[in-house]
Protein backbone atom coordinates (compact mmCIF):
# COMPACT_ATOMS: atom_id res chain seq x y z
CA UNK A 1 0.00 0.00 0.00
CA UNK A 2 1.71 3.16 -1.16
CA UNK A 3 0.30 6.31 0.41
CA UNK A 4 1.00 9.85 -0.68
CA UNK A 5 -1.34 12.80 -0.53
CA UNK A 6 0.49 14.19 -3.58
CA UNK A 7 1.47 17.39 -1.82
CA UNK A 8 3.84 20.02 -3.15
CA UNK A 9 7.02 20.58 -1.12
CA UNK A 10 5.28 23.19 1.05
CA UNK A 11 2.35 20.84 1.73
CA UNK A 12 -0.13 22.41 -0.72
CA UNK A 13 -2.00 20.66 -3.51
CA UNK A 14 -2.84 17.00 -3.88
CA UNK A 15 -2.91 14.30 -6.54
CA UNK A 16 -2.21 10.61 -6.78
CA UNK A 17 1.11 11.42 -8.54
CA UNK A 18 3.93 10.13 -6.30
CA UNK A 19 1.98 7.13 -4.94
CA UNK A 20 0.77 6.16 -8.41
CA UNK A 21 4.30 6.38 -9.82
CA UNK A 22 5.71 4.11 -7.09
CA UNK A 23 2.89 1.62 -7.55
CA UNK A 24 3.73 1.44 -11.27
CA UNK A 25 7.42 0.83 -10.47
CA UNK A 26 6.54 -1.98 -8.04
CA UNK A 27 4.18 -3.60 -10.54
CA UNK A 28 6.75 -3.31 -13.34
CA UNK A 29 9.23 -5.14 -11.07
CA UNK A 30 6.69 -7.96 -10.65
CA UNK A 31 5.26 -6.93 -7.27
CA UNK A 32 1.75 -6.13 -6.11
CA UNK A 33 0.90 -2.60 -4.96
CA UNK A 34 -2.07 -0.30 -4.48
CA UNK A 35 -2.03 3.50 -4.20
CA UNK A 36 -3.76 5.45 -1.43
CA UNK A 37 -4.20 9.23 -1.36
CA UNK A 38 -5.27 9.85 2.26
CA UNK A 39 -3.73 12.67 4.29
CA UNK A 40 -1.82 10.78 7.01
CA UNK A 41 -2.04 13.76 9.37
CA UNK A 42 -5.85 13.53 9.32
CA UNK A 43 -6.88 11.20 12.17
CA UNK A 44 -9.74 9.69 10.21
CA UNK A 45 -7.70 9.61 7.00
CA UNK A 46 -4.96 7.60 8.72
CA UNK A 47 -7.63 5.18 9.97
CA UNK A 48 -8.99 4.77 6.46
CA UNK A 49 -5.45 4.16 5.17
CA UNK A 50 -4.88 1.30 7.63
CA UNK A 51 -8.33 -0.14 6.84
CA UNK A 52 -7.60 0.18 3.11
CA UNK A 53 -4.35 -1.81 3.49
CA UNK A 54 -6.09 -4.56 5.46
CA UNK A 55 -8.96 -4.67 2.98
CA UNK A 56 -6.61 -4.98 -0.03
CA UNK A 57 -4.04 -7.37 1.40
CA UNK A 58 -5.94 -9.13 4.21
CA UNK A 59 -3.43 -8.08 6.87
CA UNK A 60 -0.95 -5.42 7.92
CA UNK A 61 2.66 -6.37 8.73
CA UNK A 62 4.76 -3.20 8.43
CA UNK A 63 4.03 0.51 8.70
CA UNK A 64 6.61 2.95 7.30
CA UNK A 65 5.88 6.52 8.37
CA UNK A 66 7.63 8.80 5.90
CA UNK A 67 5.45 11.77 4.91
CA UNK A 68 7.08 15.15 5.26
CA UNK A 69 7.08 18.79 4.19
CA UNK A 70 9.50 21.68 4.66
CA UNK A 71 8.83 25.35 5.47
CA UNK A 72 12.31 26.53 6.37
CA UNK A 73 12.55 29.82 8.32
CA UNK A 74 14.86 31.41 10.81
CA UNK A 75 13.11 31.66 14.21
CA UNK A 76 12.85 35.45 13.91
CA UNK A 77 10.81 35.02 10.71
CA UNK A 78 8.54 32.21 11.89
CA UNK A 79 5.05 32.13 10.44
CA UNK A 80 2.39 30.55 12.68
CA UNK A 81 0.56 28.72 9.88
CA UNK A 82 3.82 27.29 8.51
CA UNK A 83 4.90 26.15 11.98
CA UNK A 84 1.56 24.39 12.45
CA UNK A 85 1.71 22.78 8.99
CA UNK A 86 5.19 21.30 9.54
CA UNK A 87 4.37 19.94 12.99
CA UNK A 88 1.06 18.59 11.75
CA UNK A 89 2.44 16.61 8.80
CA UNK A 90 5.48 15.18 10.61
CA UNK A 91 4.19 14.65 14.13
CA UNK A 92 0.48 13.96 13.66
CA UNK A 93 1.36 12.28 10.36
CA UNK A 94 3.38 9.75 12.37
CA UNK A 95 1.13 9.49 15.44
CA UNK A 96 -2.16 8.96 13.59
CA UNK A 97 -1.12 5.98 11.40
CA UNK A 98 0.80 4.56 14.37
CA UNK A 99 -2.32 4.76 16.55
CA UNK A 100 -4.59 3.09 14.00
CA UNK A 101 -2.04 0.39 13.14
CA UNK A 102 -1.43 -0.30 16.85
CA UNK A 103 -5.18 -0.60 17.47
CA UNK A 104 -5.41 -3.05 14.55
CA UNK A 105 -2.51 -5.17 15.88
CA UNK A 106 -3.96 -5.20 19.39
CA UNK A 107 -7.31 -6.40 18.02
CA UNK A 108 -5.53 -9.10 16.01
CA UNK A 109 -3.74 -10.28 19.15
CA UNK A 110 -6.98 -10.32 21.15
CA UNK A 111 -8.64 -12.38 18.41
CA UNK A 112 -5.91 -15.00 18.86
CA UNK A 113 -3.87 -14.21 15.74
CA UNK A 114 -0.09 -14.20 16.11
CA UNK A 115 1.20 -10.64 15.58
CA UNK A 116 4.81 -9.99 14.52
CA UNK A 117 4.76 -6.46 13.16
CA UNK A 118 7.11 -3.54 12.46
CA UNK A 119 6.96 0.23 12.44
CA UNK A 120 9.69 2.36 10.86
CA UNK A 121 9.52 6.09 11.54
CA UNK A 122 11.42 8.78 9.64
CA UNK A 123 13.36 11.34 11.65
CA UNK A 124 16.33 13.37 10.42
CA UNK A 125 19.77 14.60 11.38
CA UNK A 126 17.88 17.85 12.06
CA UNK A 127 15.92 16.03 14.77
CA UNK A 128 19.06 14.49 16.27
CA UNK A 129 21.31 17.56 16.29
CA UNK A 130 19.18 20.54 15.20
CA UNK A 131 19.53 22.48 11.95
CA UNK A 132 19.80 26.24 11.53
CA UNK A 133 16.81 27.66 9.64
CA UNK A 134 14.78 24.53 10.30
CA UNK A 135 13.30 25.18 13.75
CA UNK A 136 9.89 23.68 12.98
CA UNK A 137 11.32 20.72 11.07
CA UNK A 138 13.97 19.98 13.75
CA UNK A 139 11.32 20.19 16.49
CA UNK A 140 9.01 17.83 14.63
CA UNK A 141 11.80 15.37 13.82
CA UNK A 142 13.00 15.37 17.46
CA UNK A 143 9.39 14.73 18.48
CA UNK A 144 9.30 11.69 16.20
CA UNK A 145 12.27 10.29 18.12
CA UNK A 146 10.40 10.67 21.43
CA UNK A 147 7.32 9.06 19.89
CA UNK A 148 9.46 6.18 18.63
CA UNK A 149 10.81 5.44 22.12
CA UNK A 150 7.35 5.51 23.71
CA UNK A 151 5.79 3.43 20.92
CA UNK A 152 8.56 0.82 21.19
CA UNK A 153 7.96 0.52 24.95
CA UNK A 154 4.14 0.46 24.67
CA UNK A 155 3.83 -1.90 21.71
CA UNK A 156 6.41 -4.53 22.76
CA UNK A 157 3.63 -6.46 24.50
CA UNK A 158 1.84 -6.82 21.15
CA UNK A 159 5.05 -8.03 19.44
CA UNK A 160 5.37 -4.83 17.43
CA UNK A 161 8.84 -3.27 17.03
CA UNK A 162 9.25 0.47 16.45
CA UNK A 163 12.48 2.01 15.15
CA UNK A 164 13.41 5.25 13.39
CA UNK A 165 15.76 6.22 10.61
CA UNK A 166 17.49 9.54 9.92
CA UNK A 167 18.21 9.33 6.17
CA UNK A 168 20.00 11.63 3.77
CA UNK A 169 19.35 11.36 0.04
CA UNK A 170 18.66 13.32 -3.10
CA UNK A 171 14.89 13.73 -3.31
CA UNK A 172 12.69 16.60 -4.35
CA UNK A 173 12.86 17.75 -0.69
CA UNK A 174 16.64 18.17 -0.74
CA UNK A 175 17.57 18.66 -4.38
CA UNK A 176 17.07 22.40 -4.16
CA UNK A 177 18.22 23.01 -0.59
CA UNK A 178 21.44 20.98 -0.82
CA UNK A 179 21.91 20.83 -4.59
CA UNK A 180 25.71 20.66 -4.53
CA UNK A 181 26.08 18.07 -1.77
CA UNK A 182 23.33 16.00 -3.33
CA UNK A 183 24.52 16.04 -6.96
CA UNK A 184 24.89 12.68 -8.66
CA UNK A 185 28.51 11.83 -9.55
CA UNK A 186 29.54 11.33 -13.18
CA UNK A 187 30.40 7.72 -12.45
CA UNK A 188 30.93 5.37 -9.50
CA UNK A 189 28.86 5.03 -6.34
CA UNK A 190 26.05 7.55 -6.03
CA UNK A 191 26.08 8.06 -2.25
CA UNK A 192 23.03 10.34 -2.35
CA UNK A 193 20.74 7.98 -4.28
CA UNK A 194 17.56 7.48 -2.22
CA UNK A 195 17.62 3.74 -2.88
CA UNK A 196 20.68 3.50 -0.59
CA UNK A 197 18.27 4.02 2.32
CA UNK A 198 15.82 1.28 1.29
CA UNK A 199 17.77 -1.87 2.35
CA UNK A 200 17.81 -0.77 6.01
CA UNK A 201 14.06 -0.09 5.88
CA UNK A 202 13.51 -3.53 4.35
CA UNK A 203 15.63 -5.19 7.08
CA UNK A 204 13.84 -3.28 9.85
CA UNK A 205 10.58 -4.47 8.29
CA UNK A 206 11.69 -8.10 8.15
CA UNK A 207 11.43 -11.08 10.50
CA UNK A 208 15.21 -10.81 11.15
CA UNK A 209 14.84 -7.55 13.09
CA UNK A 210 12.33 -8.97 15.63
CA UNK A 211 14.64 -8.21 18.59
CA UNK A 212 15.47 -4.64 17.51
CA UNK A 213 13.22 -1.93 18.87
CA UNK A 214 13.43 1.65 20.12
CA UNK A 215 16.54 2.27 18.01
CA UNK A 216 17.49 5.14 15.72
CA UNK A 217 19.73 4.68 12.68
CA UNK A 218 21.40 7.33 10.56
CA UNK A 219 21.64 6.06 6.99
CA UNK A 220 23.09 7.50 3.79
CA UNK A 221 25.20 6.09 0.97
CA UNK A 222 26.91 2.98 2.33
CA UNK A 223 26.94 4.29 5.91
CA UNK A 224 24.70 3.05 8.75
CA UNK A 225 25.17 4.59 12.20
CA UNK A 226 23.39 3.60 15.42
CA UNK A 227 22.48 6.95 16.96
CA UNK A 228 23.40 7.05 20.64
CA UNK A 229 20.67 9.13 22.24
CA UNK A 230 20.35 11.26 25.34
CA UNK A 231 21.79 9.42 28.29
CA UNK A 232 22.92 10.55 31.77
CA UNK A 233 26.34 12.20 31.71
CA UNK A 234 28.41 13.44 34.67
CA UNK A 235 26.22 14.12 37.70
CA UNK A 236 26.32 15.51 41.19
CA UNK A 237 23.95 14.92 44.12
CA UNK A 238 24.44 16.58 47.48
CA UNK A 239 21.33 15.03 49.01
CA UNK A 240 19.65 18.38 49.65
CA UNK A 241 18.39 21.31 47.53
CA UNK A 242 21.06 23.51 45.93
CA UNK A 243 21.00 27.24 46.34
CA UNK A 244 21.66 29.17 43.09
CA UNK A 245 24.79 30.66 44.66
CA UNK A 246 26.32 27.24 45.24
CA UNK A 247 25.95 26.15 41.62
CA UNK A 248 28.59 28.48 40.17
CA UNK A 249 31.27 26.42 41.90
CA UNK A 250 29.82 23.06 40.79
CA UNK A 251 28.33 23.30 37.29
CA UNK A 252 31.42 24.45 35.32
CA UNK A 253 33.30 21.45 36.74
CA UNK A 254 30.45 19.11 35.82
CA UNK A 255 30.24 20.51 32.27
CA UNK A 256 34.02 20.15 31.88
CA UNK A 257 33.64 16.41 32.54
CA UNK A 258 30.83 16.05 29.96
CA UNK A 259 31.35 15.31 26.26
CA UNK A 260 31.07 18.54 24.23
CA UNK A 261 27.77 18.81 22.33
CA UNK A 262 27.72 17.85 18.65
CA UNK A 263 27.51 20.94 16.41
CA UNK A 264 24.10 21.94 15.10
CA UNK A 265 23.82 21.55 11.30
CA UNK A 266 24.49 24.87 9.59
CA UNK A 267 26.00 26.51 12.68
Ligand X SMILES: NC(=O)c1ccc[n+]([C@@H]2O[C@H](COP(=O)([O-])OP(=O)(O)OC[C@H]3O[C@@H](n4cnc5c(N)ncnc54)[C@H](O)[C@@H]3O)[C@@H](O)[C@H]2O)c1
Q: How far is the CB of 203 from ligand X (least distance, A)?
A: 17
133: Cα within 13 Å, side-chain hemisphere: 6
Q: Report the phi/psi class of residue 249: left, alpha or beta, with left for phi > 0 and alpha for psi in -120 to 50.
A: alpha
* CB-nearer residue toward ligand X: 45 or 115: 45
* CB-nearer residue toward ligand X: 106 or 175: 175
Task: Transcribe 149-206 into DSSP letters.
Answer: HHHHHHHGGGTEEEEEEEE---STTTTTTTHHHHPPPSSS--TT-GGGTHHHHHHHTS
* CB-nearer residue toward ligand X: 6 or 221: 6
Tell me, what DSSP letter sits at residue 220?
E
- Whether 141 is a known active-site residue: answer yes
Residues in contact with ligand X, shown as a per-residue x/- string from 1 to 40 under the rule CB under 6 A:
--xxxxx-x-x------x--------------------xx
Q: How far is the CB of 233 from ligand X (least distance, A)?
A: 27
Q: How far is the CB of 246 from ligand X (least distance, A)?
A: 43
- Whether 137 is a known active-site residue: answer yes
- Whether 124 is a known active-site residue: answer yes
C-alpha–C-alpha distance, residues 84 and 105, integer Å: 30
C-alpha–C-alpha distance, residues 70 and 57, integer Å: 32
C-alpha–C-alpha distance, residues 106 and 156, integer Å: 11
Residues in contact with ligand X, shown as a per-residue x/- string from 169 to 208 under the rule CB under 6 A:
x-xxxx----------------------------------
* CB-nearer residue toward ligand X: 122 or 136: 122
| Total site size for ligand X, rule CB under 6 A | 26
Residues 81-120 that bind ligand X (CB under 6 A): 89, 93
Please tell me which residue in 123, 124, 131, 136 is annotated as part of the active site: 124
Span interacting with ligand X, options 51-59, 103-111, 163-171, 234-242, rule CB under 6 A: 163-171
- Closest residue to ligand X using C-beta atoms: 68
Angle at the Cα of 169 from the Cα atoms of 181 and 133, rounded to 5 degrees: 65
Are 19 and 36 in contact, with CB atoms under 8 Å apart?
yes
User: Which value, to the nearest 10 degrees, does the dihedral of the CA atoms of residues 20, 52, 12, 16 take?
Assistant: 20
With binding defined as CB under 6 A, does residue 66 bind ligand X?
yes
Query: Which residues are catalytic, by number?
Result: 124, 137, 141
* Residues at the contact surface with ligand X, assessed by CB under 6 A: 3-7, 9, 11, 18, 39-41, 66-69, 89, 93, 122, 124, 167-169, 171-174
Amino acid sequence: MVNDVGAALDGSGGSEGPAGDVVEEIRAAGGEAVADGEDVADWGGAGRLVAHAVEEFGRLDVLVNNAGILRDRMLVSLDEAEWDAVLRVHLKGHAAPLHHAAAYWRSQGKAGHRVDARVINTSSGAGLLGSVGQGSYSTAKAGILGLTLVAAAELARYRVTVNAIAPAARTRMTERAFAEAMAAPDGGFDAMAPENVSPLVVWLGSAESAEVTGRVFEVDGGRIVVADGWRPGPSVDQGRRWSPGELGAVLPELLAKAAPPEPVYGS
